[in-house]
Structure 1
């Protein structure tokens, strides 16, 4: 992500110090989150051996709502996916939802000895990755049926494997992991889904004041809103008065839910028009910068409040659907 933030372990420790009741949920996901955070650097050399790269930002396509990887071939992604699966699959076996389906998930990433079958399996992984990024329901349903795995389980497991590969791809692009990312330049990307992979945000954050090291008289007041991608971890700037889901905008569109005491910047931003919500944290009210993937799960208490008010998460997940 664009921020210099705490590790997964540090973020979990900070959340549990305030809300020990979340221990079972956070500890269940901790190994997966830790592995996902570490994998992009491991996978980067494998991606550098391929021809797979992020395309250049096309402002016209961006204005039309096309993420960078929309309709792009992902030739060469199978090997990094298999490398990620070697780390992620053993950790998924500890998850109740995936444990009964591990044989099918392993078959997806195995390399058959017969050459034609191996090529077919490699092509199937590329098609599955492209299908997930382009929301091709028929492709996803076929992959789930071929593996003998329920579609929600396939999406959950494959997301943990595909995400770090896409993150490594972003890291390979100059300026892709910071404020100078092309999707943040001059309002190039104005949509509420990821400019790289098209996935929905899992959490939002408001940034702290930024000071120019070269000129002490120049500073930004902070409070700019960023969305954090649930799949590839990309951060992008978004309008504070607009809904990321329906993209309606105005003074009365977005409302805030927060605890009355000791909120430390944690809140829910919800839309009065479509009644979707996104967890958010105002970093101006907190001391550290959390790992945003962990922080999203660590705001389960606010997910429950939002559900009680009939609101729907912009990114439905196993921990926020009741």
Structure 2
């Protein structure tokens, strides 16, 4: 039998039941997270014309993501579809609301500006992104927040095409991908998990302890294995590099893994301590209580967002 995976709504409801103080924030972001999740299936046909390069062991061993250098021309239609449904929800939040007209002009009109923005985003080309934000009259941090929501459905539909019908993803084979950023789109992870224990139904005597670490990309939803003793931000590795910050009681597998060298942290969920697997995007938001503790201790999120910047 497969493990139970919760939806966005179920994950947020579970978090709110355990942490009522977070309910206003969870409710503010719930429509965004639910709509983004639904849009991935809706734009799948719209991205079918885009061709992903085949997975290359050589490129992966050099730390080159699958989408690096990929032209995203032809992505305007699914981006516009996503913007039509997400912008009203994004603009219900205060920072994007102040720039609603500029955001609508950028994402809802005909043209290639939105495609250029996504290309700058996944290539890590900050000067291009800063220039495009300036031309649009939108603060870069606001544009980045909106763009990642609007681009995510198309990026997730594209990334799903790189997965095999059965078995693990090719970038996880023989630990070929060792980077802390996504092997598909190059984004930094929004959250990490530790795998559940493995049980072989065909042989009751064969069981693994679990605990393999996987990082989860908040943009294209790709997950990849990563060394537990290595910082995904600065790359330092060793037995005394990563520390754990968690509540003394009732943690439910929730913790922050933080680096003693660069003071960067990544929210992490130990699935061995939970019955069901939560939706990872909703779970990242639901660990806001630990984000606040981390901020007081001078730690910085690996993947900044409006809910973890204080």
TM-score bin (small chain): over 0.9
Match of 1:267 in 2: 255
Does 2:183 match 1:195? yes
Structure 1 CA distance for aligned equivalents of residues 71 and 4 of structure 2: 32
How many residue pairs were aligned?
A: 309
Range with bigger deviation, 251-260 or 205-214: 205-214
Specify the alignment match of 1:281 in structure 2: 269
CA distance in 2, matches of 1:193, 1:73: 20
Quick one: distance in 1 between partners of 2:43 and 2:200?
34
Q: Cα deviations across residues 157-192 of structure 1 (Å, max 9, x unaligned)? A: 01101111110111223428x751111111121111
Partner of 1:114: none
Q: Distance in 1 between matches of 2:278 and 2:299?
A: 25
Q: TM-score, normalised by structure 2?
A: 0.95
Aligned equivalents of 2:42, 2:4: Cα separation in 1: 19
Of the structure 1 ranges 18-27 and 58-67, higher mean CA displacement relative to structure 2 is found in 58-67
**In structure 2, distance between residues paired with 1:179 and 1:197:** 21
2:44 aligns to what SS in structure 1? Answer: helix
Shift of residue 216, structure 1, vs aligned partner: 4.3
The aligned counterpart of 1:79 is: 77
- Select between 247-256 and 68-77 the one with higher mean Cα deviation: 68-77
Cα distance between partner residues in 1 of 2:163 and 2:300:
36
- Matched ranges for 1:114-133 at <5 A: 118=110, 121-122=111-112, 124-133=113-122
User: How many angstroms apart in 1 are the aligned matches of 2:175 and 2:266?
Assistant: 21
Q: Is the 8 A contact 2:84 2:108 kept in 1?
A: no
Correspondence for 2:41: 41
Distance 1:220 1:86 in 2: 46
Alignment RMSD (CA, Å): 1.7
Give me the whole-angstrom Cα distance separating, in 2, the residues matched to 1:305 and 1:174. 37
Residue 174 and residue 201 in structure 1: after superposition, are their counterparts in 2 closer, same or farther (change >3 A)?
A: closer
- Classify the secondary structure of the residue corresponding to 1:197: coil
TM (norm. structure 1) is: 0.91
Kept in 2: contact 1:44–1:172 (CA 8 A): no
Partners of 2:264 and 2:10 lie apart in 1 by 30
Q: Tell me if the contact between 1:271 and 1:277 (Cα under 8 Å) persists in the aligned partners.
A: yes
CA distance in 2: counterparts of 1:276 and 1:135, whole angstroms: 19
Indicate the residue corresponding to 2:133 in structure 1. 144
Deviation digits for residues 77-117 of structure 1 (CA, Å, limit 9, x no counterpart): 11111111111111112111101111111111234xxxxxx
In structure 2, list runs of 5 or more residues that go unmatched: none
Q: Which one of the candidate residues 279, 293, 304 is aligned to 2:281?
A: 293
- Aligned-residue offset at 1:274: 1.1
Q: Residue 62 in 1 paired to residue 51 in 2?
A: no
1:134 paired residue among 101, 123, 128? 123
Q: Which residue of 1 aligns with 2:91?
A: 93
2 CA distance for matches of 1:163 and 1:236? 18
Shift of 1:217: 4.3
Query: 1:155: which partner in 2?
Result: 144
